[in-house]
């Protein structure tokens, strides 16, 4: 196949972007899978850039049947060429302090730890059992699959405190969400970065999808004029702002301000192929 996409890089979020629209019984929509196979076969570099953990992100690439680099847990983990080149942890004492203070605000909060291992960790207690069920139902309706928090062992949770890349807080009470947001922006502003979408995604200060992309740009000398960015939610703001020239937001996004940050708005992820084809053909004919 002609290498029409040689030198092009496509960086995409997963939930709500590459995995939208929801395909019944499939994680990756068929049209998206076909597009990605054409793109990578044509010489393009694919980067999956997500708040999800590395294990899930690699699983998506295997299901789609395409080669990819990975920026997981909002820039705290980067894997390229089969090697993890960046792995930033949240200090144990910071996690313990945040857990203690959030539980004081909302005893029912689901406090989940993500890392590079196969299973995320949380402690299930009498207060948050109902919240887990409620959130699981809401998540399944939105994303078409279960929210598998996985490991419920208190012992493993304690171990995970030493290698956590991201804290995920799940809470449906809007008033308490605002209180936790205020807590993060006051007492933890110089230690943690937080994005609030469907859940709180909390990472080490200074880490974002944009910093992850920048590391790959510097490492490989990627042409930012041929760098395409796709996302849909608040944790995509940083990469829209840093790499705006060829940025795309999926139209379904509930966040109007996020749509405004992107240069283009498309109905589905696979619609980006039309832009890529037009640009690639023009540049190849120059």
Tell me the two tokens of residue 279: 């640009």
Q: CATH no. for residue 102? A: 3.30.1240.10
The pTM score is 0.92
What lies within 8 Å, CB to CB, of 79 at 6+ separation is 54, 58, 69, 70, 72, 85
In terms of domains, do 213 and 272 share one? yes
CB 69, CB 79: distance < 8 Å: yes
Boundary-marking domain end, from 204, 235, 267: 204
134: domain range? 92-204
Q: CATH no. for residue 19? A: 3.40.50.1000
* pLDDT digit string (tens) for the chain, length 286 residues: 568 999 999 999 999 999 988 766 578 999 999 999 999 999 999 999 999 999 999 999 999 999 999 999 999 999 999 999 999 999 999 999 999 999 999 998 888 899 998 878 877 767 787 777 777 776 666 665 666 556 668 888 899 999 999 999 988 899 999 999 999 999 999 999 999 877 899 999 999 999 999 999 999 999 999 999 999 999 999 999 999 999 999 998 677 889 999 999 999 999 999 999 887 555 444 4
CB 114, CB 73: distance < 8 Å: yes
Could you identify the residue written with the tokens 């390229």?
80
Number of domains in the chain: 2
> Which pLDDT does position 171 carry in this prediction?
87
In terms of domains, do 29 and 76 share one? yes
Q: Report the b/e string of 222-231 with b at 16+ CB within 10 A.
A: beeebbbbbb
> Which pLDDT does position 188 carry in this prediction?
98
Compute CA distances 250 → 19, 76, 113, 178, whole Å.
11, 24, 28, 26
Boundary-marking domain end, from 173, 204, 235: 204
Compute CA distances 275 → 169, 176, 246, 272, whole Å.
37, 42, 9, 5
Residue 1 included in any domain: no
Collapse the DSSP code of 9 into the 3-class scheme (helix H, G, I; strand E, B; otherwise coil) and give the result: strand
In terms of domains, do 186 and 229 share one? no
Q: What is the DSSP string of 134-185?
A: HHHHHHHHHHSS-----B--HHHHHHHTTS-SEEEEE---HHHHHHHHHHHH
> Which pLDDT does position 284 carry in this prediction?
46
Residue 4 included in any domain: no
Boundary-marking domain end, from 204, 236, 262: 204
What lies within 8 Å, CB to CB, of 45 at 6+ separation is 8, 9, 10, 69, 220, 222
In terms of domains, do 107 and 196 share one? yes
In terms of domains, do 81 and 214 share one? yes
If one counts every other C-beta atom within 10 angstroms of the C-beta of residue 151, the result is 20
In terms of domains, do 200 and 227 share one? no
In terms of domains, do 109 and 78 share one? no
């Amino acid at each position: 196949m002609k290498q029409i996409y040689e030198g092009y890089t496509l960086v995409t979020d997963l939930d709500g972007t590459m995995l939208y629209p929801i395909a019944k019984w499939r994680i990756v929509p068929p049209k998206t899978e076909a597009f990605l196979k054409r793109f990578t076969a044509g010489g393009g570099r694919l980067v999956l850039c997500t708040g999800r953990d590395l294990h899930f992100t690699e699983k998506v690439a295997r299901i789609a049947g395409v080669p990819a680099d990975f920026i997981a847990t909002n820039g705290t983990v980067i894997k390229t060429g089969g090697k993890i080149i960046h792995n930033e942890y949240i200090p144990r004492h910071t996690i313990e302090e945040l857990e203690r203070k959030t539980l004081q605000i909302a005893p029912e909060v689901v406090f989940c730890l993500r890392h590079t291992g196969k299973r995320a960790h949380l402690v299930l207690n009498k207060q948050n059992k109902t919240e887990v069920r409620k959130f699981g139902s809401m998540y399944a309706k939105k994303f078409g699959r279960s929210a598998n928090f996985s490991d419920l062992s208190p012992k493993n949770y304690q171990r995970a405190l030493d290698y956590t890349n991201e804290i995920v807080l799940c809470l449906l009470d809007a008033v308490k969400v605002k209180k936790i947001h205020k807590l993060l922006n006051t007492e933890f502003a110089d230690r943690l970065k937080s994005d609030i979408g469907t859940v709180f995604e909390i990472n080490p200060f200074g880490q974002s999808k944009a910093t992850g992309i920048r590391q790959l740009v510097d490492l490989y000398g990627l042409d930012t004029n041929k760098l395409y960015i796709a996302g849909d939610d608040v944790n995509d703001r940083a990469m829209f702002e840093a790499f705006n020239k060829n940025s795309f937001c999926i139209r379904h996004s509930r966040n109007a301000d996020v749509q405004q940050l992107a240069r283009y708005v498309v109905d589905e992820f696979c619609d980006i192929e039309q832009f890529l084809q037009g640009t690639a053909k023009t540049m190849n004919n120059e």
